[in-house]
Amino acid sequence: MPYRRLPNTDNARFIALQTALSKGKELPPFKLAFTQKSLQKTQSFLTRFERAIILHKQSQLRQVKNNKEYYKVLKKAKLYISHFIQVMNMAITRFELPASTRISFGINEDDKALPVLISEKDIMYWGKKLIDGESSRTLLGQTPITNPTIAVVKVRYELFLEAYRFQQILKEKSNRALEKLSLLRDEADKIILDIWNEVEASYNDLPDVLKRERAKEYGLVYIYRKNEKDQVDFQDSRQKETG
């Protein structure tokens, strides 16, 4: 016997509720296979649920759309921070700067490797280190590093920080929209379950096949298990052959 499967996506939940509501508007109360109480719940709930779905999709789309621009800015900041350190290391190799220059930026004097620049926190940490370090060096009259200068690095770093903050705002809005939608999902599932139970109960005296056919008109979904589906397919093919 096939089993009933409740919707498990927001779109499927919305369709199930919309189908029930359409039936409620189409049929008079005495012909409707579920109660007026459930119909009223569906009417008052569906608009809120649809609005929550739309807001969540909009917030997600805006975040995804902004992601492309955000990662361009992040990549540029990472590039300039990396180049600044490489230029410093090359100047040290050419004896234009002392190896102790690295200490001003929080790097070990003998460490010629580039620091890890993978995460956003890495970019924030090293961007600030370079800006503060170069400011301290130049105040002491030491030779500034050029190509890129720290002023150029700072511009790219601050653009990254601004983009990061905006992206976090979009992320928080998306998370809040998801939280609101998640709360409504439980309510949607309860309403759908009540309606489907009432529909099946109203057709309880009918043969199973007819009961399911009538219930499907209200949006109920039935799934055949693999062995049952194979059997149904076999019966259908035999009917076509004999027909």
Give me the helices (H) in 8-35, please: 10-26
Kindly indicate whether the domain formed by 3-236 is annotated with CATH number 1.20.1260. Answer: yes
Over the stretch 34-91, which tens digit does the pLDDT of each residue have?
999 999 999 999 999 999 999 999 999 999 999 999 999 999 999 999 999 999 999 9
pTM to 2 decimal places: 0.75
Domain limits of the chain?
3-236
240 pLDDT higher than 70:
no
- Taking residues 213-236, what's their average pLDDT? 74
Distance CA(127)–CA(136), nearest Å, equals 14
Distance CA(120)–CA(161), nearest Å, equals 9
Q: Where are the beta strands (DSSP E) in the chain?
A: 3-4, 222-223
C-alpha to C-alpha distances, 50 to 17, 55, 94, nearest whole angstrom: 10, 9, 66
Over the stretch 8-42, which tens digit does the pLDDT of each residue have?
999 999 999 999 999 999 999 999 999 999 999 99
